[in-house]
Amino acid sequence: MAMGELLYEGKAKKIFSTGNPDQVVQYFKDDATAFNAQKRGTILEKGVINNKVSERLFQLLEQNGIRTHFVERSNDREMLTKKVRIVPIEVVVRNVVAGSLAKRLGLKEGIRIDPAVVVFYYKNDGLGDPLVNDDHLRLMNVATPGVLRELRELGQAVNKVLKPFFAERKMQLVDFKLEFGVFHNKLILADEISPDTCRFWDMTTGESMDKDRFRKDMGKIEEAYQEVLKRVCG
């Protein structure tokens, strides 16, 4: 479907209108950011990889009864999706202690979390996307208790599908970020699921296979993204 006007540009994607008021085009960029956009760079072919990986994972989730905004992948960099009203909450699901959780709580990285922990971050660049609880979100009138309960349940449901899928491919799903939107009064999964939004560790070597390689200047960033593509879509 032909792209119309640019509706929104974020750190990793551009959103364009279409001739259908219920659909938009997501264009995946190669731009990379970290630490609330304080670090910027480019990862070669990242947009192509994230588009293809997201397509595969959205299809998998749809097959398992989880509604998503995915319609079709139009080409290497463009995905046709339902037009949703994004809920300004990042839903983060953690299976293993890593990253900010380890720093904040003084825990050792690598400790398994079972059952998984689901936490919320308020999507606001000016505030640095702060970690929030249900009471904070209620105070700000961001979401009702019912919506927050549904977001938690959906986060766990997505994890139940993705965790074994990646394990079969020798990838440990350490943690991941989800975003949801409202489409015709229903909460559905939106945004993307990719090495940008997930933390993967190779189950054989323990090597990072995600944007941590960019965050921490670990090198071999493009190679890691290509390996994720190969294992997920190959």
Q: Are 50 and 120 contained in the same domain? A: no
- Out of 38, 64, 82, a domain closes at 82
| Any domain includes 231 | no
Q: Identity (one letter) of the amino acid at 145?
A: P
Residue 89 tokens read as: 């909450």
| Any domain includes 142 | yes
What's the CA gap between 225 and 55, in Å, rounded? 15
Q: Are 162 and 59 contained in the same domain? A: no
What's the CA gap between 102 and 105, in Å, rounded? 6
Q: What is residue 37's predicted lDDT score, i.e. its pLDDT? A: 75
Q: Are 101 and 170 contained in the same domain? A: yes
Q: What is residue 1's predicted lDDT score, i.e. its pLDDT? A: 62
Going residue by residue through the chain, which has 234 residues, state the pLDDT in tens, using 9 for 90 and above.
678 999 999 999 999 999 999 999 999 999 999 887 788 999 999 999 999 999 999 999 999 999 999 999 999 999 999 999 999 999 999 999 999 999 999 999 999 999 999 999 999 989 999 999 999 999 999 999 999 999 999 999 999 999 999 999 999 999 999 999 999 999 999 999 999 999 999 999 999 999 999 999 999 999 999 999 999 998
| Any domain includes 230 | no
**Over the stretch 152-188, which tens digit does the pLDDT of each residue have?**
999 999 999 999 999 999 999 999 999 999 999 999 9
| Any domain includes 110 | yes
- Out of 31, 50, 82, a domain closes at 82
- By residue range, what is the domain housing residue 96? 85-223
Q: Are 70 and 98 contained in the same domain? A: no
Q: What is residue 35's predicted lDDT score, i.e. its pLDDT? A: 83
- Out of 82, 110, 132, a domain closes at 82
Q: Which residues of 98-119 are buried (b: 16+ CB within 10 A; e: fewer)?
A: bbebeeeeeeeeeeebeebebb
Q: Are 208 and 104 contained in the same domain? A: yes
Q: Are 105 and 198 contained in the same domain? A: yes
Q: Are 76 and 151 contained in the same domain? A: no
Domain tally, the chain: 2
Q: Are 92 and 146 contained in the same domain? A: yes
